[in-house]
Amino acid sequence: MRAIRRFTVRTVLPEPLAPLDTLAQNLRWSWHTPTRELFASLDPELWERVHGDPVALLGSIDPQRLATLAEDRALVARIGELDADLQRYLTEPRWYQNDFADADKPDAIAYFSAEYGITAALPQYSGGLGILAGDHLKSASDLGVPIVGVGLLYGAGYFKQSLTRDGWQHETYPVLDPDNLPLSVLREADGSAARVRLPLPGGRTLSAQVWLAQVGRVPLLLLDSNIVENDDAARRVTDRLYGGSPDHRLQQELLLGMGGVRALRLYARLTGSPQPSVYHCNEGHAGFLAVERIRELIESEDVSFETALEAVKAGTVFTTHTPVPAGISRYSTDLISEYFGGGAELPGIPLGKVLALGAEDYEGGNPAVFNMAILGLRSAKRANGVAQLHGKVSRGMFHQLWSDFDVTEVPITSVTNGVHAPTWVDPAFAELAYRHLDADQVESGQGWRLSPEEGGVSDVELWDVRRKLRGNLVKEARHRVRKSWLDRGASPAELGWTDDVLDPDVLTIGFARRVPTYKRLTLMLSDPERLTRLLTDPERPIQILVAGKSHPDDEHGVGLIQQLVQFADQAGVRERIVFLPNYDIAMAQTLMPGCDVWLNNPLRPLEASGTSGMKCALNGALNLSILDGWWDEWYDGRNGWAIPTADGVEDPEQRDRLEAAALYEILEDTVVPRFYDRDSEGVPRHWMEMVRHTLATLGPKVQATRMVREYVERLYTPTAGSARQLDGGAGLEGARSLADWKARVREAWPAVRVDHVEADGVGEVVQLGDRIAVTAYVSLGALKPDDVEVQVVAGRPDEEDNLADLRLLPLEVSETFEGGRYAFTGERALGETGPFGYTVRVVPRNDAMVGFTELGLAATPVQ
């Protein structure tokens, strides 16, 4: 019955309970345990049935019961306290107001993402990217950072996963009812729902309403095209996450980027809140936000495309999340042309200029493709990857855009991901921590080093809570396994064995993630006999819980799930290895704290960061992982285990076999013996040392508050400074002058040359402390010495004459000749021994650029 119309009958809360509405509507409950406990206490059985969703609870609670509760003085007082606590949380000055002093700090930052994982009750995410965006907003809220989130509201979110009898993934798309979610629609003063409208080719219009989700202090605007005034095709634009054809996805991305900017304007107008000065484009999907902002500036300031682009670029931060070219959203230029050309041009923006922003116009690029990551990089002055290794991989991946420079100079930095502790630390674990330690000791991790005599947590208590978390997981997993088998068509009579599946005292290993090939879901099956021996060891067995959704179009991924399920179905092992369908936030919140070991075996370096292992670390679980993503950066030899990689082995099957063998070996020789090595109190002391070390050292680093502070300090605030510098009041004076200057430099550049270099004091061997003086004779054509910097680039040469550990020495102009020729000179004492090499180059210089790489131009000596 597809045409079914839904509506929700809401209970009117009795007056003394009215603040429950406020508490349910602000998503802070999703990470505030006392508020969740309050809702659970209203009707514990119903709370279970609605999967811990306060809005659904209030939507279906019995009015009779509410009347009784309204008489309960203690309850009403508790509601009042929590309401007051929420108001305090929403208004009091926090880190950003109290502790972060910087004249440039922005009043508002817009954060764009195609998905958000905030709570299981709002399923608008497919995996790590969305969870990260949710954690970003929550931590920004905790820190008082003035972010506004922008996204889409997908009618069916991402799919729900179940299994067929033979282990094949089955997808369903339950339609959400926004009226039954913690969302409110943005309204005009007259009460009508506000609209965002985008022109589509052929005179059509795509309209959207805007839902507001309140994530603590952070508003999240979600555009929704499913409204009656749209034609059928337009209504379906926001039907599901990453669904459909390229055309469908492009329309989603146009609505997200361009419509998202319009939603921000709407929100500022309706609420009187400040306009953002910083725009953070989280992955390429929202890249069209730049085109919309350029359009706005051309219209309001009557400036050229280039001037508007400079102004927009100054205020934009781009984060890339994928280390694989195949992971980037790309469209055919023909498709882009349909939306931005042939009569659909935006005023002042010829099609060619849009295409140029996303063009792969470099060696090895595809001229028929429009690349959303390139669009992101070209429209942002600052860009980053999401872990140090990923920053490095990204600099390599996008080196073509800065091919005049060394790969280490590519201006893409990194901010390592983090996770929102209040969301991911199990309440029982948090309770233990805060029973003994104060907030500073937990935050800094130092509390975990204290002995019981010093007021710390004892090993026995810590082990007890770890056992409790494992026990919760086993209970939950039994329930899920049974339900999965019923869904697969088994009869209850066949399922007696599921009551005893898994064991609360056995070493528990978790593996849950999306199922793209590089994550190697089935690596653990490489040697089935060896795995079976580990699972069924009579003295010291292990058990494994596996979960993950495959993109429905990825047949290979779906096949991997089937392989795993078929292995786990076997009578000999099915009590020790299970596949839990429908991996989501709710499952993750029990799974990660309950595991002893979190396994991650991607093909290095294809995991950009990964965050699930961070959630485990915060609960005292140990990581066992390939040195990839965040683990490559923070593994220290004592906080878990590194699976050695067979980098350089070309044959993928051989590489898998080698890495799987290394994995089995670590499990057999180290992990298993250490877990079962108990003292007289039954505590694995050596294991607990690793747990404490993990909590003390990783605890502070893996948190999203650390990540958001880094974004604020290293990216948002300098970006706000650049935006202000280039805004310069009427007519965007700063941006115009930078745009004009860049045009002049680009035009003059072909004539810029290093003609000749002389060095004094450089022989084959130079003594430490000797001074060397360099003079470079350069031709600048139409440019002046002020337009450029002439630099000595020094470093350690390798066999191919590439320099490593680059050091720069800027030279000063020392002589002027006719015809635009100059001498530049400088000298320096040599402070290190060893082989040394250098060259000289000319780069553009302008204080309004973030650095001399911004234009991508450098001139080196003619060979």
Ligand X SMILES: *Cc1c(COP(=O)(O)O)cnc(C)c1O
The Cα diameter of the chain in Å comes to 97
- Report in angstroms how near the CB of residue 856 gets to ligand X at its nearest: 32
Q: How many CB atoms lie within 10 A of CB 754?
A: 20
Which of 849, 845, 843 is CA-nearest to residue 725? Answer: 849
- Report in angstroms how near the CB of residue 128 gets to ligand X at its nearest: 3
Q: What token pair was written down for 116?
A: 């958000």
- Residue reference for tokens 């943005």: 186
Beta bridge partners of 827: 773
Nearest to ligand X of 625, 775 (CB atom): 625
Number of residues that bind ligand X (CB under 6 A): 12
Per rule CB under 6 A, is residue 418 in the interface with ligand X? no
Can you tell me the distance from the alpha carbon of 29 to that of 36, in angstroms, rounded to the nearest whole number?
A: 6
- Report in angstroms how near the CB of residue 512 gets to ligand X at its nearest: 7
- Report in angstroms how near the CB of residue 315 gets to ligand X at its nearest: 29
* Phi, psi values for residue 650, rounded to 5°: -70, -40
Query: Can you say whether residue 825 is alpha, beta or left, with left for phi > 0 and alpha for psi between -120 and 50 degrees?
Result: beta
Per rule CB under 6 A, is residue 158 in the interface with ligand X? no
- Report in angstroms how near the CB of residue 285 gets to ligand X at its nearest: 17
- Report in angstroms how near the CB of residue 95 gets to ligand X at its nearest: 24
SS3 state at 753: strand
Residue 673 DSSP code: H
- Residue reference for tokens 């040697």: 527
Nearest to ligand X of 212, 617 (CB atom): 617
The correct pick among 524, 560, 585, 754 for binding ligand X (CB under 6 A) is 585
* Phi, psi values for residue 736, rounded to 5°: -65, -45
Nearest to ligand X of 257, 699 (CB atom): 699
Nearest to ligand X of 258, 585 (CB atom): 585
- Report in angstroms how near the CB of residue 679 gets to ligand X at its nearest: 33
Residue 574 DSSP code: T
Nearest to ligand X of 560, 859 (CB atom): 560
SS3 state at 640: strand
Can you tell me the distance from the alpha carbon of 724 to that of 721, in angstroms, rounded to the nearest whole number?
A: 5
Per rule CB under 6 A, is residue 619 in the interface with ligand X? no
Which of 756, 813, 753 is CA-nearest to residue 779? Answer: 753
Can you tell me the distance from the alpha carbon of 107 to that of 109, in angstroms, rounded to the nearest whole number?
A: 7
Nearest to ligand X of 375, 585 (CB atom): 585
- Report in angstroms how near the CB of residue 424 gets to ligand X at its nearest: 8
Cβ density class 384-416: b for 16+ within 10 Å, e for less = bbbbbbbbbbbbebbbbbbeebbeebbbbbbbb
Nearest to ligand X of 227, 324 (CB atom): 324
- Report in angstroms how near the CB of residue 806 gets to ligand X at its nearest: 33
Nearest to ligand X of 200, 561 (CB atom): 561
Rounded to a whole number of angstroms, the distance between the first and last alpha carbons of the chain is 73
SS3 state at 245: coil
Per rule CB under 6 A, is residue 588 in the interface with ligand X? yes
Nearest to ligand X of 556, 828 (CB atom): 556
- Report in angstroms how near the CB of residue 420 gets to ligand X at its nearest: 10
- Report in angstroms how near the CB of residue 612 gets to ligand X at its nearest: 3
SS3 state at 597: strand
Give the footprint of ligand X on residues 473-532 (CB under 6 A). Answer: 513
Do residues 562 and 546 touch, judged by C-beta distance below 8 A?
no
- Report in angstroms how near the CB of residue 423 gets to ligand X at its nearest: 9
- Report in angstroms how near the CB of residue 532 gets to ligand X at its nearest: 26
- Report in angstroms how near the CB of residue 419 gets to ligand X at its nearest: 7
Give the footprint of ligand X on residues 824-863 (CB under 6 A). Answer: none
The correct pick among 115, 253, 476, 584 for binding ligand X (CB under 6 A) is 584
Nearest to ligand X of 309, 592 (CB atom): 592
Give the footprint of ligand X on residues 78-137 (CB under 6 A). Answer: 127-128, 131
Can you tell me the distance from the alpha carbon of 555 to that of 517, in angstroms, rounded to the nearest whole number?
A: 10
Give the footprint of ligand X on residues 543-582 (CB under 6 A). Answer: none
Can you tell me the distance from the alpha carbon of 249 to that of 176, in angstroms, rounded to the nearest whole number?
A: 20
Nearest to ligand X of 365, 552 (CB atom): 552
Alpha helices in 679-831 (DSSP H): 685-701, 704-710, 717-727, 733-748
Q: Which stretch binds ligand X (CB under 6 A): 103-111, 196-204, 565-573, 583-591?
A: 583-591
Q: What token pair was written down for 632?
A: 């490559």
Binding-site string for ligand X from residue 596 to residue 615, where x marks contact by CB under 6 A and - marks none: --------------xxx--x
SS3 state at 819: coil
Quick one: 494 exposed, middle or buried, by C-beta within 10 A (0-12, 13-18, 19+)? exposed
Can you tell me the distance from the alpha carbon of 844 to that of 862, in angstroms, rounded to the nearest whole number?
A: 18
Nearest to ligand X of 417, 697 (CB atom): 417
Nearest to ligand X of 567, 583 (CB atom): 583
Nearest to ligand X of 331, 583 (CB atom): 583
Per rule CB under 6 A, is residue 583 in the interface with ligand X? yes
Q: Which stretches of the chain bind ligand X, using CB under 6 A?
A: 127-128, 131, 513, 583-585, 588, 610-612, 615
